Structure formats: structure tokens, C-alpha cells
Structure 1
Amino acid sequence: MATRNESQLQQNDGAEEDATTISRRAHQTISYPAFYARFGKQVEGNMYDKYDNPEGIINMGQAVNRLMEEEVLARLNKGDALTMTARYQYYFCSFGILELRQAVASLLTRHHKPYKAINPDNLIVMNGVTACLDALSHTFCDPDDVVITPTPVYGRIFTDFQDRSRASVVPLVALQEENFELQPQDMEKLILKIKSEGQSVRACVILHPNNPLGCVSSTSYLRSIMEICAQHEIHVIVDEIYAFSIYDKETEFNSVLRMESVPDPLRTHVLWGFSKDFSIPGFRLGVIHSTNPLVLSCLKTVSHYHSSPQLIQHAAATIINDKEWCDSFYIPTSQKRLAEAYHKARQRLEAMGVVVKKSVAGLFLWANMQAFLQPCNADNENALFTALLNGGVIISPGQMLHCSNPGWFRIVFAVTNEELEIGLSRIEAVLCKWKRSVKTNSS
């Protein structure tokens, strides 16, 4: 991970740094470890382009779905989505315009089939799921309160809860030796341990589908976790941002919203957003579903700092209200393309000697490259990441995702077919060199 100095703010034009110009809180923010901060300029200034920069870096680290890029762009460019009118020049409801909240409620109701139709009044719209997590941290946690999340996990879960609200995120560690699977009693033991140390556990964050594992939790597992949290009066936050990116035909997504009853309705909150499933991360649109009046009241107030432009909200509502395009074309086509890209990437990687964990959802796969590391440790994992970056492709090392077993990497396959082929070829070229190096060192 990045050290404190590596992620500190750069000095401007050689001016001397004066620590007193910003608050202690600001110093905490800029010193928070940010893995990709070390490589931002190297990557952003040298991205692959077929014509202008064919030797540039293939980005297989950022979880973006580019498989439906042209189709989404064409739909948004129809006159009903992004046409500017006087209506969009003025102030509006900061926690989401009614048009979008009704559209999202309809989308989730018709696809997740909840026992009761989603009420738009229970939805809060913010500028991305990251903003939603930050707002929930503000709502639930005082400084040093504990939030539990299973790991490996999307790295920003730690940042979003710790950075501004100063909560403490404690990992519930899932290990390779147990196929990265956890039992409900593991959660119970961790909660009791934390409470015995005098700390307050305020929330548990579950990624469903999981990032980076690409798996979907069973309803029984989710209910067991929720029952344990209910016993200890802990909020359960279920992030379902990949809910419409299930690419395995035999897997049915069991949204928490579908549960006829939950152990503690007032402490159960579901997140979703447009960034992953609808290929528009630039729109910055995330949604919180909650039935807790106090939580909703606080979120509505906090939303003044997290609102998205009204025109963008209207455009998003337009495409998901178009049921023929959204339900009959976009979602099934996206899932089909994700499946094709996943199988292609998995077959290529396995042919290289990489062990790939089976996944059913998301934009990425979870790859074990331990056979190429000798010894297999965090330093060599980072060295392989750097070698791949220098070889023209960026992926996410397990340490960035708080994986306790070195040698795992998350590889995003939802890139264009051309970039997938080139990116995998560059990975293969680097691994071939590493394989020869391992043989030489061991002989």
C-alpha cells in the first residue's frame, strides 16, 4: 500500500509547505493511503488508443463496463434524454427529483420482484454510491465507531467510512484456504470480540454481488448475517451496485429488497447505482433505499452536499423508463456480452497457468498468480503489479482490495474486445518472463 508520504498532496510550483494552512482533519484526508495515487499520472497520461497511442496502457483495473458504450451513447443522444430546457436551470430537490426516484422504484420493482412495490419516498439519490456510503457513515457513526465488512473487498469501502466520518472499518477476513467463504458465526465472533474491547459496532457492509469475488450470496446466508446484526442492533448496508450484471444464466439474483421480511427493517439499507450496470459512471448517480424515517431525514439534509444535476437525473430516468430498450434490449444484451468476455478472459488466463476463481457477476474476475511469485508475499505481488504496468496493462493487486493472501489480482474484462485481446496478450508476455525468472531462481 502507499505510504503516508507517497499519498500526500504535491507542493505547488516549489512553494514551501506550511502545515498550518489546513486543518488537522485535512491532513488526515490527504495522508490516507491511496494505492493508485502513485500511478495516476503514469496511467492517465498514457492511456491506450488504437490510433493515437497504440502502445499506451490498457486499463483492466478500473471497474467500468465498456461493452455497451455505443448503445448507451446512442440512446442518451435521442432527443428525449439530454435536451436542455429552462426547467433544468434552477434549483431542485437535492435528494433526487421525483421523476428519477419513481423510475428507479419501477426498475427495482419489476426486476427484483419485491413482496411490496418499492416506494419512491424511500429512495435517496446522491452523486454516486461512494457519496451514499459517505453519507451513511455520517448518519450512523461517531468517530471511532466500528464498521465491519468482509474482505477481500472494494477498497473504497474503507475510505468512504473512515475518511471524513472517522469511523473505524474492521475487516472480517475471508481466506483463500476456505475458498474466500465466510460463515455467519464468523461475524458473531468478530462482533463479540470488538464489543469486548469496548468499541461500538454500528454497521456491517455487504457487497452483493461481491467485488472482487464476483459471487452472489444466498438468501439464507444474508438472512443469517442480518439476524446476527439485528441481535446487536447493527445497521446492515447491502451494496447491490452490480445487481444487473449477473452473467451466469443459472444464477438468479436474490436482492435483499425481495425478502418478504427482514430481521430489523429500520436497520436494513440497500444501495444501487447507474455506474456499473448502465455503463455511465460519469453521471455520478447512486441510490439509497431505507425505510427508517430518521435515516431518511438525515440523508435528505446531507444530500445538499451530494446532489447530481437535474438534467442528468432526467436522462437516467428516461433510459430506464424505456422498458423496451432497458428490459428487452439493454440488460440481456449487456449480460450476454459480459458472459462472453468473462469466458474468453478466463480461458486465456488459465492457459497461461493462472488459477481463476469461478464468478457469476460483476465486470471482473479474481485471478490467482501465486505460481509466478517466489516467494509468494506482498512485496512480490507489488513487483508483479509494477511489471504488468510497465508491460502496458494495469490490473488491481489483492493488497489494494484488502486480501490477506498475497498473489491474487482483480482483472476487469468488461473492456472492448480489441483491448481485451491486447491486454491479455500483454499479461501473458509479462507472466512468461516471470515464469522464466522463477525457474532460474529456483534452479
Structure 2
Amino acid sequence: MKKDFEPIKPAKRTEKIEYAVRDIVLVAEEARRKGKELLFLNIGDPVQYDFRTPEPLIEATYQAMCENLTGYSASEGVDEAICAIRKEAEKKGIKPVDIFITTGASEAIDFALTALVNEGENVLVPYPGYPLYTAILAKLCAFPNPYYLDEENAWQPDLADIEAKVNDKTRAIVIINPNNPTGAVYSEETLRGIIEIARKHQLVIFADEIYDKLVFDGKKHISIAALDPEVPVVTFNGLSKCYLAPGFRIGWGIVSGPWEVVKDFTEAIHKLARARLSTSHPKQYAIPVALNGNQVHIDEAIKKLERRRDLTVKMLNEIPGISCVKPEGAFYAFPRIDVPGVSDIEFVKELIAETGVVVVHGSGFGQKPGTAHFRVVFLPPEDILEKAYERIKDFMQKFLAKRGLKAA
């Protein structure tokens, strides 16, 4: 007798995996079906707007394919790319002891967390911060240990909160600098404070620097690994953001610190890299072209983004019930909803349904209890941003009036 399959039960490790940036698209599609014109301020993909991947990166990849460099590469990456990454790291003051190339910075982060963290352990992660870290930790049956960024201090990490959150199961501190979703760029004082906490508690620092060249107003980005070569740090970067090539899925990790301290951990990372064979072979040849080549596209991108950042901050701060700290880097802002008792998720869902402006709820990135935020991406051209913020302004007036509420 033929027996029907029972529904397949997914692994419990997947239950807590959420990714707000993508999940909100389902809400947007419902709004589209109801006839709303969608304005996308939710995805941090420059080429979805008016940015283009630099031609030399495309040409380098095409040339590699023409030369039949389409088989597996060495698991850690090709020599030319590793040498370029090493040279770039040294220019920033980092002393690499190992470099590994991955399928996007996301895979480098996955490898580093998987190589370090055991079931039941925890990692200090910023709230707000990029949700990939909590998703990977859920997969590992480990735990995010949230520390808060201080909105009153330009979204700098709260060092006292980090110190207070460390326990005997804590293995590492994640920093995202420049930060996604706030656009904060961390000061040297803050970074040195994090180093001291890591040293005191024997923690690895995971430094996500994927936006390191997109810094505004003439400010300079500081790599935390450059401030102390004796502290174990894994620095993550890639081609997706600064080099406008997110679809290339090319990233890397740079391990620094005393070799005797990091060698076993580094070998564990390489075991994982070997198990997946290699990342895309031909696209690795875009790395030396990107890092060693003309950087004009970055200057052009910064000029565009500064104008769009300024427009974003001005228009959002003019809306009753919304306040926005000025971002110093990347291409995100994290405005606050200054309305008592409002759920950020319900606010965002209603905003999308009523206006078609697609943003992401702040709780998808983590936020202090009792606060509500949403993330906007200011990559679109100014006319699109103006239209979106005008819609948000009109929506906010109706939102408050309908509930008999007043802004804080």
C-alpha cells in the first residue's frame, strides 16, 4: 500500500532565523498587487539605483574567463588577489597573518563564527546591527549577546554596556564600522575602548568594514586591527559596497594578531573553506584591479551619497514624530519614530500599504527596548528620495490624527 509522506519538519535551528531586509518584500508585493507604486528604500544594492559596477572589474572577470580560469581555485583564493588584499590591509596599518577569499563577506563571517563558536556560547553583537550575525548564530545553536549603540552619541557603541554584557560564555565582539543600519563611523577612542574590553576578557574582535571607503565630510575610517597588532581580529570586506559589485559575491577575511594565538582558529576557518572547494574563480581577478586601480568611482559615489544623505536628514527631521541622526558613512539612516506606544513593525507595514514607500522596521536590526525606528537606504536619486519623504510626511500626519496621537 502506497503511503503518503508526512510534512517534513525543518530543523529547530532554523526557527529563529529572520532577515528583515528581505522579509519586508512580502509586504511590499502585497501593496503592489493593490496598485501602489513602490519606492524602494530597503535594499543596500547600489546597482539597483543609478550606480554602475566599474568597467575594469567586469573586464578583469571576462578576461579571466577567456583565459579558461574557470575551474576550481585554491580554497583560500588566488595568489594575485591575496597579495592585493594584503597590500591594501598594510596600507591601513593592519598586519595580516592570514587572508581567505570567500563568496561575499557573508561567507567570511559565516566561516569565522562557525570556526569559533560552540553550541550554547554567545557573541556580542551591536543593536542596531546587520541581522546576518544573529541568523548565523541561530544556525549554530549559539546566541547573540546584544550591546547597544548610543543614539545620543552619534550611534557610537556604548562601552559600559559592552563590558556589562560579557559573561563566561562570550567568545567574540562584532563591530560594524561604518555601521549598517545607522551610518555611524566609530571614533578612535571608541575603538580603543573595545580593544581593551577584548584584551581583558580574551575575546576575538570581528570587524565588519564592508563600507570602509564610503565615509563622508572628509572623515577618515580607522581599522580597529591597525590600533593593536596583539589583539586577535578578523576584518571582513569585499567588492559589494565600495566597489559597487554586490552580485559578484566576492569577499574576504583578514586575520591579524599573534600567530600562536590565532593559528588553530585560522586552520579551522581553512577547513571550512576546503570543504566548499572554492569561491568563484574568475571573479577573484577583479580584486587586484579594484584595490590597485583607479578609485575615481568612490569619489563620485561619495559626492552623490553626501547630497542624498543631507536631503534625507533634512526632510526626515522636518516631519513631526520623526528624528534622524546624521549618518557619517555607508548609505543608510536609522530614523526614530517619536510617538509613544507605536510598534515599528506595524508602522512600517502600514506605511508600505498606504504609500508604497518600502523601508525596513528597526526591530529587524535590534534597538533599545522602548524605542522604535526604521531604516532607509539613501541610494536612490534625489527626485525619488524627495517623493518618498513627502509620502512619509503625509502618511505621518494621517497616522497621528487617526490615532489621536501627538509626537513626543
Structure-2 change in CA distance of 1:257 and 1:228 (3 Å): closer
Partner of 1:258: 226
Contact 2:239 2:251 in 1 (8 A): yes
Q: Deviations over 1:32-76 (max 9, x none)?
A: 34445654445469889xxxxx95422211222349855425444
Contact 1:67 1:334 in 2 (8 A): no
Pairwise CA distance, 1:169? 1.0
Contact 1:47 1:59 in 2 (8 A): no
3-state SS in 1 of match to 2:123? strand
Contact 2:32 2:356 in 1 (8 A): no
Structure-2 change in CA distance of 1:16 and 1:40 (3 Å): farther
3-state SS in 1 of match to 2:46? coil
Paired letter, 1:248: D
Q: Which runs of 5+ in 1 are unaligned?
A: 1-14, 49-53
3-state SS in 1 of match to 2:335? strand
Distance 1:255 1:173 in 2: 20
Give 1:389's match in structure 2, choosing from 327, 348, 352: 352
Alignment of 1:25-174 (within 5 A): 26-29=11-14, 32-35=17-20, 38-43=23-28, 55-66=36-47, 70-78=51-59, 80-83=60-63, 84-110=65-91, 112=92, 114=93, 119=96, 122-163=98-139, 165-174=140-149
Structure-2 change in CA distance of 1:333 and 1:94 (3 Å): same
Alignment of 1:289-368 (within 5 A): 289-291=254-256, 292-304=262-274, 305=276, 307-322=278-293, 325-326=294-295, 329-353=296-320, 354-368=322-336
Distance 1:204 1:178 in 2: 20
Pairwise CA distance, 1:441? 8.6
Q: Deviations over 1:301-357 (max 9, x none)?
A: 2114384211111134323332xx22xx12211111111110011112122233111
Partner of 1:10: none
Distance 1:62 1:101 in 2: 29
1:185 aligns with 2:160: yes
Q: TM-score, normalised by structure 2?
A: 0.86
Paired letter, 1:357: V
Contact 1:130 1:160 in 2 (8 A): no
Contact 2:156 2:190 in 1 (8 A): no
Q: Which runs of 5+ in 2 are unaligned?
A: 257-261
Contact 2:27 2:349 in 1 (8 A): no
Distance 1:203 1:343 in 2: 35
Contact 1:212 1:366 in 2 (8 A): yes
Count, aligned residues = 394
Partner of 1:233: 202
3-state SS in 2 of match to 1:96? coil
3-state SS in 2 of match to 1:122? strand
Partner of 2:259: none
Give 2:375's match in structure 1, choosing from 410, 414, 433: 410
Contact 1:76 1:319 in 2 (8 A): yes
3-state SS in 1 of match to 2:68? helix
Distance 1:73 1:175 in 2: 36
Paired letter, 1:212: P
Distance 1:109 1:76 in 2: 22
Q: TM-score, normalised by structure 1?
A: 0.80
Paired letter, 2:53: V
Paired letter, 2:285: H
Contact 2:357 2:388 in 1 (8 A): yes
Paired letter, 1:219: E
Structure-2 change in CA distance of 1:303 and 1:34 (3 Å): same
Contact 1:66 1:414 in 2 (8 A): no
3-state SS in 2 of match to 1:136? helix
Paired letter, 1:227: E
Contact 2:400 2:406 in 1 (8 A): no
Partner of 1:401: 365
Pairwise CA distance, 1:246? 0.3
Contact 2:357 2:391 in 1 (8 A): yes
Q: Deviations over 1:205-235 (max 9, x none)?
A: 1111222222222223212222222222111
Distance 1:106 1:56 in 2: 46
Contact 1:64 1:363 in 2 (8 A): no
Paired letter, 1:396: V
3-state SS in 2 of match to 1:212? coil
Give 1:19's match in structure 2, choosing from 3, 8, 15: 8
Q: Quick one: higher RCO (CA 8 Å, sep 6+), 1 or 2?
A: 2
3-state SS in 1 of match to 2:220? coil
Pairwise CA distance, 1:149? 1.8
Q: Deviations over 1:124-145 (max 9, x none)?
A: 1111222122111111111011
Structure-2 change in CA distance of 1:105 and 1:38 (3 Å): closer
Q: Deviations over 1:177-200 (max 9, x none)?
A: 676544433322221xx33xxxx2
